[in-house]
């Protein structure tokens, strides 16, 4: 069974070497000690959310501190092709369910999208609180999945902002029930074309609309910026299901699984 994972801040593990001791404090330490009830001698991983992972053994515990003797430190490189879920804001926490599940499946970043048909609106103070809630959701999901990377939750965009992101991406795919070409074929064609041409990292945007679907005007605008439409399967999926399903297909095609 894999070790439980707890997160520290980026850079906190830079001095960690085998044989050294690292002390985790704050909310993560309290969770490890009071909720998970980790005890001396148990194995644990500490990750910085940016790819670095310390594996070690608990050497001491306190109410708000967990000290670990380091056995090894590994660095998990980010994939050359990064998967980004563009999730339209949706009611009933379906958008949060989508980003949580996609994080467990390996998404690299998420983008909140204020689409035309989104019932939920991020405005003023609510926008900052909602963004923080999304970041908390992906952090918890990354911990559950024992990941060393916490997906980035980028700033919310409207359709104009999304069109700009589409133009800059290696590939942008709108998951649409009226599409003709299956997502697998779209991804395989892109991969066979040798993207990215410069050999550097590239991003694939997987764009999911709200409950009412993406409006024809938005499809036209995004396709004009370089996006393509793709079909996930024979059935219409909820906004909470489409993104995770696409991550599974993309992970298989790209050899990430």
Specify whether the backbone of 60 is left (phi greater than 0), alpha (psi in -120 to 50) or beta.
beta
- 216 and 187 in a single domain? The answer is yes
CATH code, domain carrying 61: 2.40.240.20
Residue 190 burial (10 A CB sphere; 0-12, 13-18, 19+): buried
- 127 and 240 in a single domain? The answer is yes
Q: 26, 59, 75 — which closes off a domain? A: 75
The per-residue pLDDT for 133 is 95
The per-residue pLDDT for 235 is 85
CATH code, domain carrying 221: 3.40.1280.10
- 52 and 122 in a single domain? The answer is no
Specify whether the backbone of 37 is left (phi greater than 0), alpha (psi in -120 to 50) or beta.
left
> Is-contact 35 68, C-beta < 8 A?
no
- 200 and 240 in a single domain? The answer is yes
- 143 and 211 in a single domain? The answer is yes
The per-residue pLDDT for 93 is 87
Q: 75, 104, 120 — which closes off a domain? A: 75
Q: Using CA atoms, how far apart are residues 229 and 186, in angstroms rounded to an integer?
A: 9
> Is-contact 73 18, C-beta < 8 A?
yes
Q: 75, 102, 136 — which closes off a domain? A: 75
- 139 and 69 in a single domain? The answer is no
pTM of the model: 0.92
CA-nearest of 42, 45, 64 to 55 is: 45
Q: Using CA atoms, how far apart are residues 91 and 50, in angstroms rounded to an integer?
A: 31
- 135 and 115 in a single domain? The answer is yes
First to last CA, the chain: 19
- 147 and 235 in a single domain? The answer is yes
User: Beta strands 81-88 and 65-75: pairing type?
Assistant: unpaired
Distances (CA, A) of 51 to 75, 77, 104, 135, 202: 5, 6, 15, 17, 18
- 196 and 136 in a single domain? The answer is yes
Token pair, residue 119, equals: 């019932």
Q: How many domains does the chain have?
A: 2
- 47 and 104 in a single domain? The answer is no
- 248 and 124 in a single domain? The answer is yes
- 64 and 150 in a single domain? The answer is no
Residue 182 is part of which domain span? Answer: 81-253
Complete edge-to-edge strand list for the sheet that includes strand 171-175: 152-153, 109-113, 81-88, 202-208, 171-175, 228-230
pLDDT 10s per residue in the chain (257 long)? 789 999 999 999 999 999 999 999 999 999 999 999 999 999 999 999 999 999 999 999 998 899 999 999 999 999 989 999 999 998 888 999 999 999 999 999 999 999 998 888 888 888 899 999 999 999 999 999 999 999 999 999 999 999 999 999 999 999 998 899 999 999 999 998 875 555 556 999 999 999 888 999 999 999 999 999 999 988 888 889 999 999 999 999 999 98
Token pair, residue 68, equals: 């670990």
């Amino acid at each position: 069974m894999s070790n439980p994972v707890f997160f520290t801040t980026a850079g906190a593990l830079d001095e960690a070497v085998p044989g050294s001791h690292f002390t985790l404090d704050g909310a993560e330490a309290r969770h490890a000690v009071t909720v998970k009830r980790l005890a001396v001698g148990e194995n644990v991983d500490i990750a910085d959310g940016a790819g670095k992972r310390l594996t070690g053994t608990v050497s001491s515990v306190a109410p708000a501190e967990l000290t670990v003797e380091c056995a090894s430190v590994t660095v998990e490189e980010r994939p050359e092709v990064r998967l980004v879920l563009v999730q339209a804001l949706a009611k009933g926490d379906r958008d949060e369910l989508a980003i949580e599940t996609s994080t467990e499946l390996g998404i690299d970043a998420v983008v909140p999208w204020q689409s035309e048909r989104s019932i939920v609106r991020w405005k003023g103070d609510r926008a900052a609180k909602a963004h923080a809630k999304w970041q908390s959701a992906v952090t918890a999901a990354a911990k559950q999945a024992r990941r060393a990377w916490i997906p980035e939750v980028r700033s919310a965009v409207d359709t104009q902002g999304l069109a700009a992101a589409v133009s800059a991406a290696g590939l942008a795919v709108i998951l649409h029930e009226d599409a003709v070409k299956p997502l697998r074929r779209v991804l395989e064609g892109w991969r066979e074309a040798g993207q990215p041409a410069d050999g550097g990292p590239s991003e694939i945007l997987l764009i999911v609309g709200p409950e009412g679907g993406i409006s024809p005007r938005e499809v036209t605008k995004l396709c004009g910026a370089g996006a393509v439409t793709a079909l996930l399967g024979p059935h219409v999926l909820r906004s909470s299901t489409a993104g995770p399903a696409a991550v599974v297909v993309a992970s298989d095609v790209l050899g990430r699984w």
